[in-house]
Amino acid sequence: MKFFDFAKYLEKLEKTASRLEITAILKELFKETSRSEIKEVVYLSLGILAPNYENILLNLAEKMVARSIALAYDKDLSIVTKIYKETGDLGNVAEKFSAVHHNQPTSLSPLTVHDVYSKLITIAKDGGEGSQDRKIEKFAELLKNLDSLSVRYVARIPVGKLRLGFSEKTVLDALGIGDEAYNIRPDIGYIAELVKSNRLKDIKPEIGVPVVPMLAARLNSTTEMISKMGEVSVEPKFDGLRIFIHYRRKDNLVKIFTRNMNAIDINTFPELMTLGRHVKADEIILDTEAVGIDPKREFFVDFQKTIQRRRKHNIENSQKEIPLQFQIFDMLLIDGKSFINEPYIVRREMLKNKITNGKLLRIDENTITKDPNVIKNLHLKYLKMGLEGVVVKRANGKYVSGRTGWNWVKMKEEEGMEGRLSDTLDCIVMGYFVGKGKRAQFGLGKILVGIKDEDRIMTLTKVGTGLTEAMLVEIKKRLDKLESREMPKEYEAQKDLIPDVWARPSLIVEVTADSISVSTKHSLGLSLRFPRFLRIREDKGVNEATTLKELKNIAKI
C-alpha cells in the first residue's frame, strides 16, 4: 500500500468522532491491506512502532522533530518553532512547509507503508554517540521524500500526538474479534497478522511476551462471594508489586514484567538471576507479588517501600536494605504447555510441584471453602498480620485477563452502603488547574481526574486535598511531559470543567472519597464527595484505570 493512500484513511479517521464510523473506516482499511503489511498498518494507525513491552521508541523529542522539519524544507528553526507555538501541532507545521516545498498540497510520494515503517524502525534503533544528530537527519530525509498529507501524520508519531482517538479495542472490533487473543498476546499487530492468516486459534502464552493480567473485582459481602463463585480459594492480599516472571533454562533467560506489561531490567531485581535453582521446569511463566522485607524486624514493608527497589540506583545497597520475597500465586505456562484454561486449583497443584519454597520464592497459603464465615475470619486474621486482608478466587476458574466475571475478588472491611465509596479508585489524570494563593508557586493547584467507559475517558472529579508540596512538584513535572494543547480526542468534559492545561492519558493516581453523588457538571454523570489524593500508581497503566461499571459496583448504584 502506498503511504499516501494510508494517509488518506488517517485523514478520514481524524475527521471522525463516532466510534462506529471509526470502526467501519478501520475495517475498510484492513480489508485493503495485504497480509505482509497489516502489522505495520495497525502499528502506525495507533502511532506506535511495536507493542509497549518491546520498548522500540523513536526518541525524537519535539525540539528534535522541529529541527528535522527545518532541515527537510530548508527553513530557519526559529520560524518553525514560532509557527509551532502558534498552532501547537508539529504535523500541521510540517504539512504547511511540505506543500510549499513541493509547490502543491499533495505531491504524491512513491513510498509504501513498509518503506516508511522500515525507515522509522531504523531511526528508532540508531543509538550511541552522535545518534541524536543522525536521527534528526534521517527523519528530515524521510519527511522530504513524503507528500504533504503523509508528512502531517508521520511528523506527529514521534511526539505521540497522532490524534485519531481510538485504541486497540477499536482495532479488535474492526478485525471482528474479541479481546481473548489479545489478552494472551498483547501485540495488536501480531494479532492482526494472525487474523489475516486465519491462525488465531494457534495463540498461546510465550516466554518473553507479557500476558494481560487477571485482576480482582470488588465484592464486600462474603455471602455474595460464595453465591457468585461457588467453591473458592481464600488467600492473603499482599501490599506489593505485581510481577510476572518468565524463565527459560536453556539460555538462562529471565524476563520480568509489571502488571501494565512494562518490561523491568533484570538488574533491578538481581536476586532473580538465581531463579533456576528454585524452579523445577525448563520454561515457566509465574504470576507473583514482589514484597519487600524488613530484614531487622522480619516483616513485610508497605508498597511505597517495596517500589523504592525500582527507583534506587545503588541496587546492591537497596537489595540489602529491602530484600524481596516473591509470593507465587499462579502460573500460566510450563514447558511449552499453556495452563490458562485449566481450573485454578489445578494450576495451584502444579505450582507445588514446580516451585521450591524458600526466601526468594514462596507459594501463597490458601484455604478452599464454601463457607462465608471462613472468608471473614481469614480476612480478619490477615489484617492483624499487617496484610491487606484476603483475595478470594473461584476454585475452578480459568485464567481470564481483566476483571471479567467473578473469578477473583478483593474483600473489603466495610459492607458498602448505597452511594458510599467502599474502595479506592484508580483514576486517569486528564489535566490540571493552575494553583491559587499558596499553591500558585507550584503552577498546579488541583488535578482533574476521570475514569474509563469503553474507549472514552470521562471526568469524575477535581482533586486538591491530599496533595503535599512535594507531590505538587512531582505531578507538575510529570504532567509537563504529557501536556496537550487540545483536549485529547478520547476525553469527554463539559465546558465548566475545562482545566487550564490538558494532559495526554498516561498518569494514574489513586483517589478516595466519602461517597459518590449524581452530578450534572461531570461528563460521567457522577462525581465524588470530598475526594482525597492518596498516591501515584506507578504500577498501573491507562488500561487498568477504574471503569464506570466498576465504580457503580463499588458504590452499589
Strand partners, 289: 242, 327
Q: By the 8 A CB rule, do 448 and 528 touch?
A: no
Residues written for the chain:
557
Q: Helical H runs in 402-452?
A: none
Nearest to 258 by CA among 271, 244, 272: 244
What is the residue type of 232?
V
Query: Rg of the chain's alpha carbons, rounded to an integer?
Result: 25
Helix (H) or strand (E) holding 194: helix 188-197
C-alpha grid cell for residue 340? Answer: 490458562
**Distance between CA atoms of 132 and 141, rounded to whole angstroms?**
14
C-alpha grid cell for residue 492? Answer: 469527554
> Pairing mode, if any, of strands 232-236 and 367-369?
antiparallel
Q: By the 8 A CB rule, do 410 and 547 touch?
A: no
Other residues' Cβ atoms within 10 Å of the Cβ of residue 539: 20
- Catalytic residue, from 237, 412, 452, 462: name it: 237
Helix axes 77-87, 62-72, angle to 10 degrees: 120
* 3-class state of residue 47 by DSSP: coil
Q: Helical H runs in 322-403?
A: 344-354, 372-384
384 included as an active-site residue = no
* 3-class state of residue 451 by DSSP: strand
Give the list of residues 6+ apart from residue 520 with CB closer than 8 angstroms, or none.
none
Give the list of residues 6+ apart from residue 193 with CB closer than 8 angstroms, or none.
35, 38, 39
**Distance between CA atoms of 129 and 138, rounded to whole angstroms?**
15
* 3-class state of residue 162 by DSSP: coil
Helix axes 90-101, 62-72, angle to 10 degrees: 10
C-alpha distances out from residue 436 to 263, 441, 469, 477, Å: 39, 8, 13, 18
Q: Is 325 exposed, middle or buried (0-12, 13-18, 19+ CB in 10 A)?
A: buried
> Among all residues, which ones are annotated catalytic?
237
